[in-house]
A and B are shown apart, each in its own frame.
Chain A
């Protein structure tokens, strides 16, 4: 009478998930890896080679762009955290009832339009003939039109703006679950705001912080639109390199090698983030 735990029903239910994982995630990556490991030896013929990886390490442009992308993404993640944390704390701990929901909704509203539209919004604000420049001239703070677009600061603004929601939501969720009495207890025992933040609030919010940072870092690292549109001639983003290799240069092999390297980088960063914060992956993603 005893039936196997893994009966037909189990496999049928699992099938869509497995199909999805294998067809849409595993296979493309395996293909990417295989393409990256071949070298064109003549029209339409290829042989195995690590040439495209060697190319990455010997061509300063490539690894510098890679490094720059990684560092800018880290910085963007940090900035997003610094801005999102007080915001999330305010919404989760200081607000009650309707005001809380309203504020949360306000955080969501920018995400009702596509990333492209949001980025164009920033372009309208920051460009030389744009709103901010116009306001500054009108108020007399500056005499001539001011170009605020096409630099690293503009990229950073765009990246932080794009990623904000993905930081705020996990932070609000974890901070919401922080018992107020823990803060009061710390206060009661002689603590002040600063050490309460470090000894009580931050440790409690750590899973949210880590999960937010992981998501934001990966989104930023893989972002293509924002750096390209807001960065102009100096954008230099690694995804842009991948795009160029695939589309402009027809060099799928190099593009695939770049893709694999980017995948390795983000995996490494996630692993480091989890290690440094002492969190487990399941704990963080369960938030």
Chain B
């Protein structure tokens, strides 16, 4: 009698184990940004490997919060920005190191891979490899706001109630550069950084009446610009190029003080259950043909070597119009954020928001 029960229980356990193994083997839970995993690419990947990809759209803060809440479980692959990895890892221990031997490194633009690996390392452990890169700058309707050349031009009286930006750390950094400071150089010097923040805060507070609203999602902003309610904004380059397809007057402008360059990475959550699938996905989407598809879909460029040759001409034209060589050289790439800075920035952002 007893043995029968044991057998039955064993059988049930076995079935459960097999099913869960199958689920693990066949699903990749991807925590990423909108546009990074187009449906077409997901389908191609499934045809090739039989692995199903489940996408959760997110942003930097949300990714960290989600992974923090579960101690790094719930997702098999995440795509945080390279500057946000090491501090989050040190604080919350939510990622596992990446085995570079399992990455086909010849698919990557070497300089980008090298920079990202360096920025996301703690000791000899590497936590990120690059995927998509882009910049923050200005999206401008050149007819309605012809004089917008730099971030601080958004505060021009002529544009009162017609501009928008996010109330987040990139805006603080951008205005710091536009006000002639170098916030990245001050990362290591809290007092200096606090002084810069104070200056930026004063400017942004002064600028607040000019702002129609602080945008929160990319679609939100694009709609404001499409309807003409907003004519100039600080935003991502891809958004500007997307609008340029619909209306040639509107496009992305690299600001005088420099566009802010970011690289979004691949990072493995600490409790990832489909590590193999994650590596397969990375090596798949970095193939030039696949990377070009992603660029075509989202207007974002990738760290894939040789993909730019496959991107359609219009896309390249838009990029070159926004980025003359001098502007490319002037891109300010985010270094890793030391712990503690974000708390200071948070308070400044709160105060700007509270000012009436």
Q: Which residues of A contact B (CB under 8 A)?
A: 43-44, 59, 61, 64-65, 127-129, 147, 150, 232-234, 236, 241, 244, 246-251
Q: Which residues of A contact B91 (CB under 8 A)?
A: 43-44, 250
Judge if B161 is at the interface, Cβ distance under 8 Å: yes
B-side interface size class: 20 to 34
Q: Hey, what's the 0/1 contact readout for B90-129 against A, CB within 8 Å counting as 1?
A: 1111000000000000000000000000000000000000
In the complex, the answer to whether A249 meets B342 with C-beta atoms within 8 Å is yes
Q: How far is the CB of B123 from chain A (nearest CB, A)?
A: 14
Q: Which residues of B contact A241 (CB under 8 A)?
A: 350
Q: Which residue of A lies closest to B345 (CB)?
A: A249
Q: Which residues of B contact A43 (CB under 8 A)?
A: 90-91, 339
In the complex, the answer to whether A128 meets B354 with C-beta atoms within 8 Å is no
In the complex, the answer to whether B343 meets A251 with C-beta atoms within 8 Å is yes
In the complex, the answer to whether A250 meets B353 with C-beta atoms within 8 Å is no
Q: Which residues of B contact A246 (CB under 8 A)?
A: 65
Interface centre among B88, B211, B213 (most CB of A within 10 A): B213
Q: Which residues of A contact B353 (CB under 8 A)?
A: 233, 236
User: Which B residues between 202 and 241 are near A, CB-CB below 8 angstroms?
Assistant: 208, 211-214, 227-229
Q: How far is the CB of A239 from chain B (nearest CB, A)?
A: 14
Given A44-B91, A147-B161, A234-B356: A244 touches B350 (CB 8 Å cut-off): yes
Q: Which residues of A contact B68 (CB under 8 A)?
A: 250
Q: Which residues of B contact A (CB under 8 A)?
A: 61-62, 64-65, 68, 88, 90-93, 161, 167-168, 208, 211-214, 227-229, 339, 342-343, 346-347, 350-351, 353-354, 356
Q: Which residues of A contact B228 (CB under 8 A)?
A: 129
How many Å lie between the Cα of A263 and that of B231 in the bound state?
Answer: 42
Given A43-B91, A232-B214, A234-B356: A248 touches B208 (CB 8 Å cut-off): no
Which among B167, B229, B350, B351 is the interface contact of A128 at CB below 8 angstroms? B229
How many Å lie between the Cα of A150 and that of B62 in the bound state?
Answer: 25
25 residue pairs bridging A and B, Cβ less than 8 Å apart: A43-B339, A44-B92, A44-B93, A61-B350, A64-B354, A128-B229, A147-B161, A147-B212, A232-B212, A232-B213, A232-B214, A233-B167, A233-B208, A233-B212, A234-B356, A236-B353, A241-B350, A244-B346, A246-B65, A247-B62, A247-B65, A249-B342, A249-B343, A250-B64, A250-B88
Given A233-B208, A249-B346, A251-B343: A127 touches B354 (CB 8 Å cut-off): no
In the complex, the answer to whether A248 meets B346 with C-beta atoms within 8 Å is yes
Q: Which residues of A contact B90 (CB under 8 A)?
A: 43
In the complex, the answer to whether B351 meets A250 with C-beta atoms within 8 Å is no
Q: Which residue of B lies closest to A241 (CB)?
A: B350
How many Å lie between the Cα of A61 and that of B205 in the bound state?
Answer: 14
Q: Which residues of A contact B92 (CB under 8 A)?
A: 44, 250
In the complex, the answer to whether A233 meets B343 with C-beta atoms within 8 Å is no
Q: How far is the CB of A70 from chain B (nearest CB, A)?
A: 16
Q: Which residues of B contact A150 (CB under 8 A)?
A: 212-213
Q: Which residues of A contact B93 (CB under 8 A)?
A: 44
Q: Which residues of A contact B350 (CB under 8 A)?
A: 61, 241, 244
How many Å lie between the Cα of A64 and that of B65 in the bound state?
Answer: 26
How many Å lie between the Cα of A246 and that of B65 in the bound state?
Answer: 7
How many Å lie between the Cα of A231 and that of B296 in the bound state?
Answer: 36
Q: How far is the CB of A236 from chain B (nearest CB, A)?
A: 6
In the complex, the answer to whether B65 meets A233 with C-beta atoms within 8 Å is no
Q: How far is the CB of A68 from chain B (nearest CB, A)?
A: 9
